[in-house]
Amino acid sequence: MNVENIRLINFRNYKSLNIKLNEKINIFVGKNAQGKTNLLESIYICATGRSFRTNKDKEIINLDKNEAYIGANIKTDRSQKFIEIKMERDKQKRIRVNKVELKSFKELNSGLNIVVFCPDDLRLIKDGPFERRNFLDMSISQIKPVYKHNINRYNKILFQRNNLIKSNKSKSSIISLLEVFDLQLVKTGTEIIISRNEFIKELSKKSYNIHNSLTSGKEELEINYISNVKFEDKNKIDIEKNFLEKLKANTNKDLITGTTEIGPHRDDMEIKINNIDARNFASQGQQRTIVLSIKLSEVEMIRSERGMYPVLLLDDVFSELDEERRRYLIRSFNEMQTIITSTDIINLTELDKVDKSIFYIENGKVLQ
Ligand SMILES: Nc1ncnc2c1ncn2[C@@H]1O[C@H](COP(=O)(O)OP(=O)(O)OP(=O)(O)O)[C@@H](O)[C@H]1O
Ligand SMILES: [Mg+2]
């Protein structure tokens, strides 16, 4: 899978850009604040329909203009897709695939698979569970489009359930109305739990091996799924049963706190190296290596599930990795299109041998 070209109009600091990308390695070099991350952001939006930096589309539109456009041609072995996104101030963005308009960006499924690795990803280790759930949702959606649908549905039911328990209806009528919501929440929530459990098991296995070789056998990485619903070695019916029982047992508490405590919206991932919690004990470099192992595992998982490699986006990560880890990363580029940004020319002999294009970014303009 690869992005053949990208066209931007009034997208952040790009007034007008039209570039053709290399099928293998693309290196974008530029000083700070020239538009490197903006360019990766535009590709990310083509894959997911939203930005990794903001929820407010209007921030993306060039400050002096009222509308922005992104257009990208995506090629796979089997198909050709032309993804277009148009944003207007104070309006919903519009997305077209092969000239057909989508009802919502939520329909933008698997047109383009990407894996992003950027310095901010350390938040996956350091920050709270929200970041890790977000990672899970983004990653699983790419592999399993129905998962995204389940997440949207689950969030909707949860929102309605929370509204109901916060309402000023009588306790007995709330409890009788909860019957329906709880059953729906459990059905959809169980699908999510099963998908997350499968994903994390595979991720854990793959990233153990990658991390082990990245650290020359010195570190053992372990990733576990944490949920307040029992999921281990149980079938769907058992998970649903346990989920519903816990949800019901917690109803009185939920009514007091005005929120729902039981369910996958409280899930987390435990990340350990050599049996010690990485969040509190791993050094910056160790955390970065964990993220690298996780991201490279994700690449492999997309490849085995979808039968083709994703596009790899690397924002300014080379300067932060030591030489051994850089070499490892470059070796993994072999099969896939990679788009790299850097403030300096990347000096590595490994890169001499590969097919690549180097671009220079200056103030929203790209020179080759
Ligand atoms: N909506 C917008 N309109 C115009 N300019 C914008 C808009 N949003 C962001 N910018 C500008 O785009 C510039 C480039 O941002 P970007 O994050 O891509 O830089 P970068 O090259 O990745 O820099 P760094 O090396 O510091 O990460 C910034 O100066 C920012 O102010
Ligand atoms: Mg940047």
Return mean pLDDT, the chain: 93
Of residues 329 and 265, the one with the higher pLDDT is 265
Residue nearest to atom 5 of ligand 1 (CA): 13
- Name the CATH superfamily for 120-307: RecF/RecN/SMC, N-terminal domain (1.20.1050.90)
How far, in Å, is the centroid of ligand 2 from the Cα of 138? 21
pLDDT-based confidence at 318, cuts 50/70/90? confident
Rounded CA-CA distance 312/310 in Å is: 6
Can you give the pLDDT at residue 107?
74
CA angle 30, 33, 34 (to 5 degrees): 45
Structural class in CATH, domain 1-113+308-368: alpha beta
Please answer whether residues 181 and 194 qualify as being in contact, where contact means their C-beta atoms are separated by less than 8 angstroms: no
How far does the centroid of ligand 2 lie from the alpha carbon of residue 40, in Å?
Answer: 9
* 26 alpha-carbon distance from chain centroid: 21
Nearest CA to 136 out of 223, 11, 77 is that of: 223
Give the list of residues 6+ apart from residue 296 with CB closer than 8 angstroms, or none.
207, 210, 329, 332
Residue with CA closest to ligand 1 atom 18: 35
pLDDT reported for residue 333:
84
The residue whose C-alpha atom lies closest to atom 28 belonging to ligand 1 is 33
For residue 35, give the ligand 1 atom closest to its CA.
18
Neighbours of 175 (CB within 10 A): 17
In 3D space, the residue among 193, 109, 104, 103 whose CA is nearest the CA of residue 145 turns out to be: 109
pLDDT on residue 288: 93
Q: Where in the chain is the domain with CATH 1.20.1050.90?
A: 120-307
Distance CA 162, CA 251 (A): 11
Ligand 1 pocket residues where CB is under 6 Å: 12-13, 30, 32-38, 59, 61-63, 316, 343
CA distance 197 to 239: 12
- Please choose from 38, 41, 118, 360 the residue to mutate so as to test ligand 1's pocket, defined by most ligand atoms within 8 A of CB: 38
Give residue-wise pLDDT tens across range 189-234: 999 999 999 999 999 999 999 999 999 999 999 999 999 999 986 7
Q: Among 36, 42, 60, 366, name the best residue to mutate to test ligand 1's pocket (greatest count of ligand atoms within 8 A of Cβ).
A: 36
User: What pLDDT is attached to residue 110?
Assistant: 66
- Which atom of ligand 1 sits closest to the CA of residue 38? 18
Confidence of residue 259 (pLDDT cuts 50, 70, 90): very high
Confidence (pLDDT) at 351: 79
Adjacent-strand bridge partners of 112: none
Ligand 1 atom 3, closest CA: 62
Query: How high is the pLDDT of residue 335?
Result: 82
**Where in the chain do CATH 3.40.50.300 domains reside?**
1-113+308-368
Tell me how far the alpha carbon of residue 343 lies from the centroid of ligand 1, in angstroms. 14
pLDDT at 201: 96
Three-state secondary structure string covering the chain: CEEEEEEEEEECCEEEEEEECCCCEEEEECCCCCCHHHHHHHHHHHHHCCCCCCCCHHHCECCCCCEEEEEEEEECCCCEEEEEEEEECCCCCEEEECCEECCCHHHCCCCCCEEEECHHHHHHHHCCHHHHHHHHHHHHHHHCHHHHHHHHHHHHHHHHHHHHHHCCCCHHHHHHHHHHHHHHHHHHHHHHHHHHHHHHHHHHHHHHHHHHHHCCCCCCEEEEEECCCCCCCCCHHHHHHHHHHHHHHCHHHHHHHCCCCCCHHHCEEEEEECCEEHHHHCCHHHHHHHHHHHHHHHHHHHHHHHCCCCEEEEECCHHHCCHHHHHHHHHCCCCCCEEEEECCCCCCHHHHCCCEEEEEEECCEEEC
Cα separation of 347 and 336, whole Å?
20
- Reported as a single tens digit per residue, the pLDDT across 42-82 is 999 999 888 989 989 999 999 999 999 999 999 998 889 99
Give pTM, 2 decimals: 0.92
Mean pLDDT of all residues in 138-167? 94
Atom 31 of ligand 1 has which residue's CA nearest to it?
Answer: 33
> What pLDDT score does 234 carry?
74
Ligand nearest to the CA of 35: 1
Cα 149 to ligand 1 centroid, rounded to whole Å? 33
The four Cα atoms 361, 43, 292, 59 give a dihedral, to 10 degrees, of 80
Q: Whose CA is nearest to atom 16 of ligand 1?
A: 35
The label of the residue with tokens 């519903």 reads: 244
Q: Each residue of 336-366: pLDDT tens digit?
A: 999 999 998 877 677 777 889 999 999 999 9
> How far apart, in whole angstroms, are the C-alpha atoms of residue 231 and residue 190?
9
**Residue 354: what pLDDT?**
82
Ligand at shortest distance from the CA of 365: 1
Ligand nearest the Cα of residue 53 is 1
Shortest-distance Cα residue to atom 27 of ligand 1:
32
| Residue minimizing CA distance to atom 29 of ligand 1 | 33
Ligand nearest to the CA of 54: 1
Distance 247 CA to ligand 2 centre (A): 44
Q: For residues 15 and 74, is the Cβ–Cβ distance under 8 A? A: no
Could you read off the pLDDT of 77-122 as tens digits, one per residue?
Answer: 888 999 999 999 989 999 999 999 998 777 777 689 999 999 889 9
pLDDT score of 332: 85
pLDDT beyond 90 at 258: yes
pLDDT, position 233 = 67
pLDDT at 320: 85
Q: Tell me the sheet residues that pair with 29.
A: 342, 360
pLDDT digits (tens, 9 = 90+) for 155-189: 999 999 999 999 989 989 999 999 999 999 999 99
Ligand 1 center from residue 235 Cα (angstroms)? 49
Which chain residues have CB less than 5 Å from ligand 2, an ion?
A: 36-37
The protein residue with its alpha carbon nearest to ligand 1, atom 19, reads: 33
For residue 184, report the distance from its CA to the centre of ligand 2, in Å: 42
Sequence-distant (6+) residues with CB within 8 A of 179 are none
